[in-house]
A and B are shown apart, each in its own frame.
Chain A
C-alpha cells in the first residue's frame, strides 16, 4: 500500500525558518511533490524532487532522500501569507497518480 506521513500542525514566527517533514512508503516512485493549499482554494505546486538532494526556489527549498523515504520542505523568512496547508505527494504508476499525505497546517504568528 501507500503510506505518507507528515505532522498535522505546526506554528512558527514571522521571519523565522520552518521545516516540514514527510516520510513515505510507496510501491513505485516517480518523484515527490510539495503543494501549498490556502483555505478554500486549490492546491498549487511548490516543488518537485526525483533525485536525492536539495532543490532551492526562492524562500522555499525541498530535500529528498530516496533511500530513507524522506523529504522536507524548508520555508525561510516566513511571512503571514505562508499560513496554509502544505501537502506532500508522491507520484507513482504510469498515470502519474499522486498519493497525498494528510497535509501540515502551518500557522505563522507575529
Chain B
C-alpha cells in the first residue's frame, strides 16, 4: 500500500564504504527524485529522473550515482562515504505531465557515517 517506499530506513556505516539506498513507487508516476536533508533540516534536491532519463543533476559529488532500472525505481549508490554524507535522504515522485502537482515523499533513509 505504501506509495513511495525506500530501504533501508536506517543505515550506519564506516567512512570509505560504498552503500546503496533503494526507492520504489507504485503511483505510476514518471518522475522520481532524490533529496538530501541535512542536520539543519534543509531539504535540497540532488537528482531527478523522468522515465529512466536523468533530467536534474544538481551540484553533487560524483561519488553519488543514481540508477533507474525502470520508471518505478530510482536507487542511489554512494561510493567512498564521508562523514559529511551523514543526513536523511528522501526519495520522491510526481507525475511528469502535471508539473504543478505535489511530490510524494518516501519515509527517508537516515544515513550515519562513522
Contacts and interface: CB of A to CB of B under 8 A. Distances in A.
Contact of A48 (B41, B56, B100): B100
Interface of B: 31, 33, 40-45, 48, 50, 55-56, 90, 94, 96, 99-108
A88 to B, nearest CB: 11
A83 interface: no
Nearest to B107: A42
Given A99-B45, A103-B42, 18 more contacts: A41-B108, A43-B43, A43-B90, A43-B105, A44-B105, A45-B102, A48-B102, A50-B100, A85-B41, A89-B43, A95-B48, A95-B55, A96-B96, A97-B48, A98-B45, A100-B42, A102-B42, A103-B43
Main SS class of interface, A: strand
A37 B88 CA distance: 13
Contacts of A94: 55, 99
